[in-house]
Amino acid sequence: MANSVLFICSRNAGKSQMAAALMDYISGGTITSYSAGTNPGTGINQEAVASLAQSGADMSGGTPKPIDSKVVEQVDRVIILGTDAHPNFEASVTTERWVTYEPSEDGITGSERMNLIRDEIAERVRELFHEMEQ
């Protein structure tokens, strides 16, 4: 899969879904993005959906899903978001970990928390897009 990326987090309900939707939006579809979780939840984080919609991206149709080993083998990049997900890959799989700021540790909650997370992920996705487009 030329120009493709897999974003992974633990529940695949927020951060990795946001990253994939942001990549779709920022790249205009020129980079194929996937998201998955090491311990998928049962639904998408609705605060994340609302926050992302404010930026023009859409993750409302996403559903949490487990990691597909075929996707892992075929994508150009594998990005793990946060510190909770610890996928067990073959040694040949190179991953990158994005440790994101957690606003709740500073007492920031609700939409303000989600917007801060969204903005940080969006900046990292923009940087990744520019790297992959070269």
CA angle 1/4/121 to nearest 5° reads 170
Q: What is the pLDDT of residue 90?
A: 87
Task: Round to whole Å and give the CA distance between 32 and 25.
Answer: 11
51 is in which domain, residue-wise? 4-133
Q: What is the pLDDT of residue 134?
A: 79
Q: What is the pLDDT of residue 22?
A: 98
Q: How many domains does the chain have?
A: 1
CATH code of the domain covering residue 65: 3.40.50.2300
DSSP 28: T
Q: What integer is the mean pLDDT of 67-94?
A: 94
Q: Quick: pLDDT tens for 101-127.
A: 999 999 999 999 999 999 999 999 999
Of 29, 65, 67, 23, the closest CA to residue 44 belongs to 65
Q: What is the pLDDT of residue 91?
A: 83
Q: What is the pLDDT of residue 92?
A: 87
Q: What is the pLDDT of residue 2?
A: 63
Q: Quick: pLDDT tens for 30-77.
A: 999 999 999 999 999 999 999 999 999 999 999 999 999 999 999 999
